[in-house]
Amino acid sequence: MRYKKLGTTDMKVSEITIGTWAIGGAGWGEVDRKQSIDAIHQMVDHGVNFIDTAPAYNSGMAECVVGEAIRNIRDKIYIATKGGVTNIGNHTVRDSSEENLFKQCEESLKRLQVDYLDLYMIHWPDYNVPFEETFTAMEKLKKQGKIRHIGVSNFSVPQTLDAERYAKIDVIQLPYSMVNRSQERFLKWFHDHKIGVMTYGSLSGGILTGAFRTLPKFAAGDIRPAAYDAFVEPKFSRVMEILKTLDTIAEKHNVPVAQVTINWNLKKEFVDTALVGVINPQQADENCACMDWELTEVEMEVIDKKIEDVLGDQETYCRQMNNPWAVGYRD
């Protein structure tokens, strides 16, 4: 396993972070709790020391699974979770008020069975609560010893700078993958300004593992078509063209396509750690095996050119399509 210092924090984290959205079990098809726990243990055994979760992942279910998994290995793992998004029935609402953040932080600590969080992030910007209230509350949680570092997820550069008027922002989390490079320019900016960079959506809901070769018909309530536009035409067919290039490189290295995908993410110098979803031990083994080899610079250039030829300027594309993940353009 390889490690990087996360921004200016004291955390030296694995370049792969365990992503737990699917482990929550809502909107991702069949997910087995024991398999999920075994997968977390397997990732840790491979040297992964960072895990990301959130109460919004199936109303705290992901946090409960993580809490059970890390009960006896707390000293081996850094824990990141989030606040500011609350589940109400089948809907989620943003609420980054002091009252709700204090409440959610306590609930997360209980579900995770820990005394403190290594990183606590605001999940999404809340346009109804002043940043002064939100990030003053985060500083209070830090002074109380309940959180060690403060981060933001899905924030633009201007929003992050605004938040820094009230609290030190240690980490940013944004989407980034071969098929969503809309935030690349902003991720570089954060990295250059010494803010730790976590990226999510590395495998784009699984499409970049090569598991989907025809447009899938997901069950009602499956989150993937809404969360990942690569599962919607015409982008789906374009992504299939990229997979042909990945297939060739994967065959050359005798590895699964997912390893090529993760390798590509980790070769980007501005990415400190990339979230990778995992729901069973086999996936854990395959994901971590990507650390046994690296893409060559020529292969990186081939992949990047294919992405550009097929998808073009993704910043412009996301803006034109009003992509909800194009957060870099928000005020």
Rounded to 5 degrees, what are φ and ψ at 76? Answer: -105, 0
Query: Are 168 and 189 contacting, i.e. CB atoms less than 8 angstroms apart?
Result: no
**CA 284/CA 278 separation, integer angstroms:** 6
Strands (E), 163-306: 171-175, 196-200, 273-277
Distance CA 196, CA 54 (A): 18
Instruction: Classify 287 as helix, strand or coil.
Output: helix
User: At which residue do the structure tokens 């990339």 appear?
Assistant: 274
CA 270 – CA 178 distance, rounded (Å): 15
SS3 32: coil
DSSP track, 45-68: HTT--EEE--TTTTTTHHHHHHHH
> Which parts of 6-137 are beta strand (E)?
12-14, 16-19, 50-52, 78-83, 85-88, 91-94, 119-122
Q: Which residues have CB under 8 Å from 315's CB, separation 6+?
A: 181, 182, 184, 185, 326, 328
**What positions carry a catalytic annotation?**
57
Nearest residue to 200 (alpha-carbon basis) of 58, 39, 53:
53
DSSP-assigned states of every residue in 176-211: -BTTB-TTHHHHHHHHHTT-EEEEE-TTGGGGGGT-
What number of CA atoms fall less than 13 Å from residue 154's CA on the CB side? Answer: 16
